[in-house]
Structures are given as C-alpha cells and as structure tokens.
Amino acid sequence: MNRPKGMTTRLRILAVLPLVAIAALVIVLLTRREERLGPVVTGTVLAGPTCPVARPDDPACAPQPVAARVRFEDAAGRAVATADSGSDGGFRAYVPPGDYTVVAEALNGGQLPRGIPAVVTVTVAGIRGLQVEMDTGIR
C-alpha cells in the first residue's frame, strides 16, 4: 500500500510520541521519588590507624575504606536514617534536613573498628563527600 510521503512521516511521529511521553513521565516520577526521600548524603567510611606507629607521610598507614552501617541519629538518639557502605567505604543515604550525630558501626557485629561520632548538619542540598571515621584500636 503506497501512502503519500507526508503521511508516512506523520504516522512515524504519532508512533513515537507515546514513547516520548512515557519516558518524560518516568523521569518526573523518579525525580519526585528522590524529593520525597529527602536530601542525599554521600560519603566514605574510613578506618584507622592502620599501623601501630602511624606516620602522616606514610601512605601505607593511611586510613582505609571499610564496609559499615552508617547511622544518622537525632538529638533524642533515634536513628533517622541508615545506610550500608560497600567494601570501598562508599555510602548513600536519604536524610531529612537537620542536625544529626553520625556514627558508623561494624557490619561484622564486632567491637572493632568502632565508630567515632561526629555532628553534621544536613541541608536541603544534602552533603557530598562526608567522611565518617572509625577507630581500628591499633596503637
């Protein structure tokens, strides 16, 4: 069946329009999901010291990334958000704006490494590059 050239082009456009509309809807829904979850906090969990006699100029003794559970606690000590870091120490958490004590705990359930609590303020923009420290107990 031969259709005029202009008709074929219009049919192709009409066939693609629903796909474009669906893609736009998915983008909007995913963006709104992120907004509902709260600002994003990303960072790394590092454990140190890694040498009995740590020297600042020795890269072998630098704190190392570690897998841990990162917990954001409000002033009453309630966990508002948690995230698990990977073996690279990297984590991502959705945390409502506010002031929190952030602490990491060992995923293996052991005493070490032990998290070193730190106070952070999460804004509507979130936090990028937060370093959460853990103490290995090596002295």
Q: Where are the beta strands (DSSP E) in 49-117?
A: 64-65, 68-73, 79-84, 90-94, 98-106, 114-115
38-135: CATH, from 3.40.50.720, 3.40.50.1370, 2.60.40.10, 1.10.10.1100 = 2.60.40.10
Whole-model pTM over 0.85: no
Q: pLDDT of the chain along its 139 residues, tens only?
A: 566 665 677 777 777 777 777 777 777 666 554 556 789 999 999 999 999 886 778 888 899 999 999 999 999 999 999 999 999 999 999 999 999 999 999 988 888 899 999 999 999 999 999 999 999 998 8
Cα–Cα distance, 39 to 123 (Å, whole number): 7
Query: Residues in the chain, how many?
Result: 139
Cα–Cα distance, 61 to 51 (Å, whole number): 5
